[in-house]
């Protein structure tokens, strides 16, 4: 609906109200927003209006503000340890994908060994239902492609509370659920179509098993800090064939 259809005049207060709604939706840290507003010409008035608007967003507004401030501090703590972060088992992930027919063809068997049965085509050629963020709330502490230590980050890290639910980003089949991929800790890999997979690492507990079919929004794990982890978070990857892709290109815009 346009402003003319709504038939109301835009006042300074309404502008700050909708700005606060937008900022809360994309989950910026409230402390940093307050600092920015405090430096504006409106100063203390702007901060007061921001806090008032955020509290009106929902009945639990004060709790939401405190929650995101806490997540922001958690994300900062995780970032402090990134330079000491150890690499994850990239080869192991690729081997899992190849065994089910995602990516390159598995290596030929040794002479005299029986030939493995080729994997069947996946029943969903192209997944078209869209993907969701794997958590209800949290803050991204590390983006895709960032160089950490001597390796490039293959996914995104989302900081949140220990043991909150980790959700399937889309419907699919569990092609791996275990703790044998070095560095990933307790990890789940879902296959969504012929070439698309998602990965959820560092969980405290797994809620699915290999071979199980899952629905979008189904809980697949509880968030943790297992494996090579800098603190409580989920490491989330999306891959096309074997190649990691930026999850933000597939997820709803500006959720975290």
One domain, residues 7 and 27: yes
One domain, residues 133 and 213: yes
Question: What is the Cα gyration radius of the chain?
Answer: 22
One domain, residues 44 and 147: no
Reduced to 3 states (helix: H, G, I; strand: E, B; else coil), residue 110 is coil
Reduced to 3 states (helix: H, G, I; strand: E, B; else coil), residue 229 is coil
According to DSSP, the β-strands at 151-152 and 147-148 are antiparallel
β-sheet bridge partners, residue 163: none
Is the residue at 37 inside a domain?
yes
Q: Are 231 and 204 in contact (CB under 8 A)?
A: no
As for how many domains the chain has, the answer is 2
Reduced to 3 states (helix: H, G, I; strand: E, B; else coil), residue 249 is helix
One domain, residues 51 and 98: no
Q: Are 223 and 135 in contact (CB under 8 A)?
A: yes
One domain, residues 96 and 177: yes
Reduced to 3 states (helix: H, G, I; strand: E, B; else coil), residue 14 is helix
Is the residue at 116 inside a domain?
no
**pLDDT tens string 4-56:** 333 333 344 444 454 444 444 344 456 666 677 677 767 777 778 767 766 66
Per-residue b/e over 220-233, b at no fewer than 16 CB within 10 Å?
bbbbbbbbbbbbbb
**pLDDT tens string 98-125:** 999 997 665 566 677 676 677 788 999 9
Domain limits at 97?
90-105+121-249
Task: Please tell me the predicted confidence (pLDDT) of residue 251.
Answer: 94
Is the residue at 256 inside a domain?
no
One domain, residues 54 and 141: no
Q: What's the CATH number where 207 sits?
A: 2.70.70.10
Q: Are 8 and 1 in contact (CB under 8 A)?
A: no
Is the residue at 147 inside a domain?
yes
Mean residue pLDDT of the chain comes to 80
What single string gives the DSSP state of each residue in 121-151?
A: PPS-SS--S----SSSS-EEEE-TT-EETTE
One domain, residues 219 and 97: yes
Is the residue at 255 inside a domain?
no
Task: Please tell me the predicted confidence (pLDDT) of residue 61.
Answer: 57
Is the residue at 219 inside a domain?
yes
Is the residue at 200 inside a domain?
yes
**For residue 3, is pLDDT > 70?**
no
One domain, residues 128 and 195: yes
Task: Please tell me the predicted confidence (pLDDT) of residue 194.
Answer: 94
Q: C-alpha 6: how far from its chain's center? A: 36
One domain, residues 125 and 58: no
One domain, residues 160 and 243: yes
Task: Please tell me the predicted confidence (pLDDT) of residue 11.
Answer: 45
One domain, residues 57 and 19: yes
Tokens of 111: 């002479």
One domain, residues 46 and 130: no
Q: What's the number of CA atoms in the CB half-sphere (13 Å) around residue 163? A: 0
Is the residue at 13 inside a domain?
yes
């Amino acid at each position: 609906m346009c402003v003319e259809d709504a038939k109301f005049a835009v006042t300074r207060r309404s502008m700050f109200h909708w700005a606060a709604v937008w900022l809360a939706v994309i989950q910026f840290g409230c402390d940093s927003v307050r600092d920015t507003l405090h430096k504006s010409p409106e100063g203390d008035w702007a901060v007061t209006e921001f806090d008032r608007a955020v509290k009106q967003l929902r009945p639990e507004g004060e709790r939401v503000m405190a929650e995101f401030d806490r997540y922001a501090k958690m994300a900062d703590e995780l970032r402090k340890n990134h330079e000491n972060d150890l690499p994850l088992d990239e080869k192991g992930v690729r081997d899992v994908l190849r065994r089910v027919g995602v990516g390159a063809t598995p290596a030929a068997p040794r002479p005299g060994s029986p030939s493995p049965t080729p994997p069947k085509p996946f029943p969903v050629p192209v997944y078209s239902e869209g993907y969701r963020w794997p958590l209800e709330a949290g803050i991204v502490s590390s983006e895709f492609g960032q160089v950490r230590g001597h390796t490039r980050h293959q996914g995104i890290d989302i900081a949140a509370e220990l043991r909150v639910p980790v959700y399937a980003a889309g419907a699919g089949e569990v092609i791996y659920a275990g703790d044998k991929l070095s560095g990933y800790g307790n990890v789940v890999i879902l296959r969504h179509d012929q070439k698309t997979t998602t990965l959820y690492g560092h969980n405290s507990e797994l809620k699915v098993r290999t071979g199980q079919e899952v629905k979008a929004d189904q809980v697949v794990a509880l968030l943790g800090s297992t494996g090579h982890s800098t603190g409580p978070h989920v490491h989330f990857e999306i891959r096309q064939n074997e190649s990691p892709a930026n999850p933000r290109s597939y997820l709803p815009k500006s959720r975290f």
